[in-house]
Amino acid sequence: MKTYFSLRSHIAGALGLSLLVPAFALAQIDSSVINNTAAAVNAAGSASAQANTPVRTSAQVQVSASTTVSTAVMTRAKTKADTEIDRRIKALGDLNTRVQAMTKITADFKTNLNTNIQNQISGLTALKAKIDADTEGSVLKTDVQSVTSSYRIFALVMPQARIAAAADREATIINMMAALGAKLQARVQATQAAGADITAVNTALVDMGNKLQSAQTHAQAAVSGSATLTPDKGEKTLMAANDAALKTARAEIKSAQTDLVAARKDVDTILKGLRTISAAAAASSTVQTQ
Amino acid sequence: MKWLIGLVLVVVAGAGLWWSGLLNQYLPTAKPQVAQQTATTTPQQQTTPAPINDLPTQTSDTSDAAMAQDTAAVDAQMQGLQNDSASIDQSFNDKATAQEY
């Protein structure tokens, strides 16, 4: 009978890969946006100036209107930036809660994930405070654009850590099912020793071992292929490579999940088979007694 | 006859040295052996941690009740894995809110 006790070895060490600490990238100021905004403000100012010519000078009205429009634009920009930053901070906080619950990765890897997430949260919190305090349009523009540019880091860290969390869960399930498989194996061996035909349950038991082995390989590949990716900082080649690596890692997680679902079905097959053998033996015993 | 006398003298001299304790420093004693044994045993205990049992029941418990508990625990983790997998998909589909300015 094929055994699979080797599957009980923990993959924690193998999952212990480190992530690099990301850094926020500052966006370049888009000068065309500034020019367009200024043109719009000046046009509004001129219109107001014509209506108020008897009381105020054209220059005074233009400055006043320009300030009003500029304040409204800044307020709207701040609100949108704050909303996006809050959304990311919440997502990162939820992710960190999940990371803290991971049990099969190494302490170092867990610390790295935690550090990366905390750095992101700290950076976003500081950015939000700065945006809220900004009074100059040009400075606000730079800060708001860094909300967009920093998304590339967020878009990398989130799936990276989510993949690690799923792989950690898969490692836990593999451990559980391997231990359960050992119990089932003991029951099957006892049934065989009693003279029963165990062919069907043994087939399921061997398949279960193979599926767990395959799941472990896929889970490990998912972490190995995604944990060391670094932020692309706008570099298109690296961006494409990161996307491809993350998609491959996601596929590995799903393959491992498929294996685990199949292994779980094998458990049902074995339990059902053992019950059938037990019932048949009991019926045979009853007939002999009568 | 001379060789017999010589042999006796050597034996007597050896016995004298042993009695005086002079040879003790060259002979192995039980004490260092115990110390050495302790030194090798301790690291072995540290490097072979007991395997973690993720099941809710004892690994030796093969009863129907225990396995029912075990399978329920596995199913709970499988459900958690489905959620984890959905979270990965969600992180792939996430889009940044367009900013003004």
For A65-112, the pLDDT digits (tens) are 666 668 899 999 999 999 999 999 999 999 999 999 999 988 888 898
Closest to B96 (Cα-Cα) out of A84, A78, A247: A84
With an 8 Å Cβ cutoff, is B101 touching chain A?
A: yes
pLDDT at A21 over 90: no
Q: A76 contacts in B (CB within 8 Å)? A: 100
Q: Average the pLDDT over A114-134 and give the result.
A: 94
pLDDT at B67 over 60: yes
pLDDT given for residue A285 in this prediction: 67
Q: Average the pLDDT over A210-218 and give the result.
A: 97
Q: How many CB atoms lie within 10 A of CB A256?
A: 30
Q: Average the pLDDT over B23-37 and give the result.
A: 45
Helix-helix angle A236-289:B64-93, to 10 degrees:
160
The model carries a pTM of: 0.70
- State the maximum Cα–Cα separation within chain B, in Å, rounded to a whole number: 118
pLDDT at B16 over 80: no
pLDDT given for residue A228 in this prediction: 87
Q: What DSSP letter does each residue of A46-107 carry, written as one string?
A: HHHHHHTTTTS-HHHHHHHHHHHHHHHHHHHHHHHHHHHHHHHHHHHHHHHHHHHT--SS-H
DSSP, res B95: -
Q: How many CB atoms lie within 10 A of CB B63?
A: 12
pLDDT at B96 over 90: no
Chain-chain contact of A182 with B59 (C-beta, under 8 angstroms): yes
Chain B neighbours among A 118-157 (CB < 8 Å)? Answer: 137, 140-141, 144-145, 147-148, 151, 154-155
pLDDT at A140 over 90: yes
The helix, strand and coil proportions of chain B, stated in percent and rounded to the nearest 5, come to 70, 0, 30
**Could you report the predicted ipTM of this complex, rounded to two decimals?**
0.74
Q: Which are the contacts of B45, defined by CB distance < 8 A and separation ≥ 6?
A: none
Q: Which amino acid is at B86?
A: A
Closest to A126 (Cα-Cα) out of A177, A81, A161: A81
Chosen for mutation from B48, B82, B88, B92 (greatest number of chain A CBs closer than 10 Å) is: B88
Closest to A41 (Cα-Cα) out of A21, A10, A3, A68: A68
Closest to A272 (Cα-Cα) out of A211, A193, A200: A200
Chain-chain contact of B101 with A144 (C-beta, under 8 angstroms): yes
Map residue A259 onto helix, strand or coil: helix
